[in-house]
Amino acid sequence: MFPPPGLLEQGPEPARAFLAQAAKDGIDHVCCGDHVSFLTGLGFDGLVQATALAMLHPALPVYTGVYLLPLRHPVLVARQLADLAQLAPGRLIFGTGIGGEDRHEVAICGVDPATRGLRMDECLAIVRQLLTGKPVTYHGTFFDLDDAVIAPAPATAIPIIVGGRSDAAIRRAGRLGDGWLGVWNSPRRFAAAVQLAAEDVAEFLAPHVAAGCTEFNLIPQSPDPGQAIAGTAAVKRLLAPA
């Protein structure tokens, strides 16, 4: 589940209490988004958020959903991922996507919005290789590397989950990811928004479970943190095998 908006800005104690309650109530992981300069300039770097959340709880995994990888240089991102893997071993799931809701955000990062899919392919290939700790030489359309090394490599491999609603994103997940992350999803296409009470959410998600889906990231709509946790935990219980 995603924490309530603005939780980290309230200081460490409210965030620490929220994460402790989430873990106590059986939430599997917490998620965070990512933007550089969205629409009116808003943003909160996803890996900064992930680091803060990981440091505020000793065991709860953290899931970036999704980090806009094509807006960054893959060597720098690999460094950040390797560092976070040292700080919170085995607790990061790296969900990444190309974004695109605000093309101006893409452009001001020096990226042609029309090329972000191809750039994403190169970024993913480079990051995956760098996280092995071995020297990487790569000559592509967007990046030229000779003997790039990021050490130490994560002791536990970081799962890379590719997000997106398009056919291209799903194919990219198959080629370069460890899974696919959708948003506003229907049972058939993961494409409809879920803003219902716990029983209705569970009923809506049940066909996904029957189809083999094993993890969901819920975005609670309640402004009350306790209610958000309770609702998410209730959905988990309703979906649990009898």
Q: Could you give the CA distance from residue 127 to residue 215 in angstroms, rounded to a whole number? A: 24
240: tokens are: 């649990």
**What mean pLDDT is reported for the chain?**
90
Question: pLDDT class for 19, splitting at 50, 70, 90?
Answer: very high
pLDDT attached to residue 192: 34
Q: Cα-flanking dihedrals φ and ψ of residue 147, to 5°?
A: 55, 45
3: tokens are: 């924490």
11: tokens are: 């200081």
Check whether 40 has a pLDDT greater than 70: yes
pLDDT attached to residue 189: 59
pLDDT attached to residue 185: 65
Mean pLDDT of 45-70: 97
The two most distant CA atoms of the chain are separated, in Å, by 54
Check whether 175 has a pLDDT greater than 70: yes
Nearest to residue 95, comparing CAs of 126, 118, 62?
A: 62
pLDDT, tens only, 122-157: 999 999 999 999 999 999 999 999 999 999 999 999
Nearest to residue 127, comparing CAs of 66, 79, 65?
A: 79
Nearest to residue 46, comparing CAs of 23, 72, 24, 27?
A: 72
Check whether 218 has a pLDDT greater than 90: no
pLDDT attached to residue 74: 98
pTM, rounded to two decimals? 0.82
Q: Is 27 strand, coil or helix?
A: coil
